[in-house]
Amino acid sequence: DEYKTKKLVLRKIEAGDYWIGGPETGNIYSAPNSYHKVTFGKDFYVSIFDVTAAQYAKVVDNTTSTSILPQVNVSWNTIRGSAGPAATPTFGFMGILNSKTNLIGFDLPTRSMWEVAARAGDTAMYPGGDDTANLGTYAWWTGNSGNVLHNVGTRTPNAWGLYDMIGNVWLPMRDVHNTADLATLQTDGLKPITTGTAGTIIVTSGSYRDGGIRYRYSARYNHGASGAWTNVGLRCAFVEQ
């Protein structure tokens, strides 16, 4: 379990054009995300697991923990040290991680980075198909979680070897929440959305205690930047600066 406690492993996703969004019309939970192309001018990296309590403790407090539950109860402001979405974090979890590794480029993923990584080439609405029949193979959700949080990496990974991209905990994105179609907001997948509803950010993936449409790849929701919840975690991304 050292890759869930002492080390942080990320998967490289190559630069290029990717298609994301869904065939659904109108809002996908809170905002539209029609089928569209998104471009990445650089390779980027996404952590294989959600950040665990053990990893968080090692980075922030330099203490030892064996908990491989997702770290929860930390706000977007705490994770990023209140840096604006277009700024590189110098405080908070991501700022400390940048400082300790001397690699300026760790941050939360943008919404488009997350969806490309979550889909891993999948064109269905949900992991496993266009309904939730097979969702439990890939995700902890209301259909199988028992309404409790689960250890990371205990469901089947996606085609790129990434675990828990859907379910278990909501994942905050780097972006400000905006109710316009993602297809018009973020054609450059590396650039965060900086305009929208003041004080709110995008969360995605659904959690262990949610159901239905929240687990679609194309769904997103709004969350207060200062809010911390028991079903909201975090995931690392990295873009070389």
> Per residue in 41-99, pLDDT tens?
999 999 999 999 999 999 999 898 999 999 999 999 999 998 999 999 999 999 999 99
- What pTM was estimated for this model as a whole? 0.96
pLDDT value of residue 68: 98
pLDDT value of residue 37: 97
Strand partners, 45: 12, 238
Angle at the Cα of 94 from the Cα atoms of 18 and 241, rounded to 5 degrees: 55
pLDDT value of residue 73: 97
pLDDT value of residue 24: 73
Stretch 110-128: mean pLDDT, rounded?
Answer: 97
| Statement: residue 182 has pLDDT above 90 | yes
Angle at the Cα of 56 from the Cα atoms of 51 and 59, rounded to 5 degrees: 125
| Statement: residue 28 has pLDDT above 80 | no
